[in-house]
Amino acid sequence: MLGRPEYRKALVFCGLIGIPVALIAFWFLVAVNQLEQLIWTDWPKDLGWKQAPWWWALPLLTVAGLVVGLVVARSPGRGGHVPAGGLHSGGITKRALPGVLIAALVGLPFGAVLGPEAPLIAMGGALALLFASLARAPETEASTALLGAAGAAAAVSALFGNPIVGAVLLMEVAGVGGPQLFAVMLPALLASGVGDLIFTGFVHWTGFETGSLDIGLPKPPPLDWQDVLWVLVLAPALAFLIHWAFVGGRLAARFVATRTVRKTVLCALGAAVCISLYAVATGRSPAEAALSGESTLASLAQDPHAWPVGALIAVLAFKGLAYALCLGSLRGGPVFPALFLGGAAGVLLAPLPGLGLVPAMAAGMAASVTAALQLPVSSVVLVVLLLGNVDTVALVVLAAVVSFVLVQRLPQGPDIPAFGERSADRTAH
């Protein structure tokens, strides 16, 4: 395969595609990060509040639901894949790119309990196809799949800060094997590496922050048999909860399939109510229950004592409910909210005899993100990267495997409406 001239040309082209895709992904993440900071921190302080008031999410998510509902109902590609269906690497065309960007740039900063990884994958794949058409590269079914995977890998590696994570994630998302896997993954790995170099350089050059996966956990104590026993209890419990959040997301997706605009606004407003109830019940910022949870996870890991037991229980309950509603109605990725919920559960249960903070968070995040993605290898690689050490790898692997096996045995919930399907009563919009 490597001896074929057309494959070598495609490999070089995929490496070159990693440059513009990473640059665009960089500015996309900067925009999301800066908008979140502006809307949830700067504006409340400018208006005289110490933190965002309890009702802050209500108007924001109502607007987000309206915009995303209009994009889903009336734009090509429906704004991207439904998050309750997990991550997907294909199906997004060049014409769908504007809708994906609008849905993400409005929904995510306005408080959707979703992450940016799914829009990045869609954006990277669509941009790669767009650049290929501009360069007048020949379009075949094989080249389209190859370029789409490479572009998606380059974009998502910018988010995770590691080309290996991007490549492994696309390997599992693509769902191919044997020679096909090698043919897709080699360009994807090359584009991920190039994209990571460009992205890292721009972070240092501009000084902008786009979020970091380094959550700052301390070095864990040596593992013992008690850690293993607690993982066997913690992992299935979290996998069960996250899985049913996804079932709820699938139900929400069926709900918004008709009268899309109106029902998307209702689901977004329901998520806002959950976020507001969290703020009322705890007196804390509603931003902790809104958004993806990426930045909040780092503060949780570095200062877990700042979170009383009541706040941890409340954020698990209310953010979990908001997560389920957003999974089925808005647009974004399922990874970071699942990581946060798993990490919060780990902090809550860390005082149990013989457990501890690092093993509890490691097992919690591994079980949660595996239940969300049903991609055990990618989940293990991602959580190990987050932890920043190899001492808990055995627990991470055990939690991921237990979670994956359990989720496969549970009812998967209703099917999500097919991508590109239109509502039967568009006149209701």
Residue predicted with more confidence, 43 or 423:
43
Distance CA 187, CA 299 (A): 36
Burial state string for 233-267 with b = 16 or more CB within 10 A and e = fewer than 16: ebbbebbbbbbbbbbbbbbbbbbbbebbbebbbbb
Three-class DSSP category at 333: strand
- Residue 207 pLDDT greater than 60, yes or no: yes
Give the global pTM. 0.85
Largest CA distance in the chain: 66
Distances (CA, A) of 393 to 233, 236, 298, 339, 365: 18, 18, 19, 16, 12
Model pLDDT for residues 384-399, shown as the tens digit of each residue: 888 877 677 888 888 9
Q: Which two tokens stand for residue 229?
A: 């026993």
Residue 84 clears pLDDT 60, i.e. is over it: yes
Start-end of H helices in 57-177: 57-74, 97-107, 117-134, 141-160, 163-174
- Read off the pLDDT of each residue in 298-304 and give the average, rounded to a whole number: 88
What is the rounded average pLDDT of the residues 171-175?
64
Per mean pLDDT, which range of 41-50, 127-136, 146-155, 419-428 is the poorest? 419-428
Closest CA to 152 of 222, 202, 218, 100: 100
Please state, in angstroms and as integers, the Cα–Cα distance from residue 411 to each residue in 18, 37, 250, 343, following that order. 39, 39, 12, 25
CA distance linking residue 371 with residue 379, whole number of Å:
9
Which region, left, alpha or beta, applies to residue 24 given φ > 0 means left and ψ of -120 to 50 means alpha? alpha
**Burial of residue 427 (number of CB atoms within 10 Å: 0-12, 13-18, 19+):** exposed
Q: What angle do CA 328, 32, 323 make, to 5 degrees?
A: 25
Greater confidence, 37 or 378? Answer: 37
Cα 54 off chain centre by: 25
**Contacts (Cβ under 8 Å, ≥6 apart) of 72:** 78, 79, 103, 256, 260, 261, 264, 331
Q: Which residue has the higher pLDDT, 95 or 48?
A: 48
Contact 307, 347 (CB under 8 A): yes
- The CA distance from 114 to 109, in Å, is 10
Q: Is the pLDDT of residue 162 over 60?
A: yes
So what's the pLDDT on residue 77? 86
Q: Picking from 133-147, 223-237, 346-360, which range would have the lowest pLDDT averaged per residue?
A: 133-147
Q: Return the pLDDT at 218.
A: 66
**Residue 99 clears pLDDT 90, i.e. is over it:** yes
77 dihedral zone (left: phi>0; alpha: psi -120 to 50; beta): left
Average predicted confidence (pLDDT) for the chain: 83
DSSP label at residue 330? S
Extract the tokens encoding 21.
Answer: 């895709």
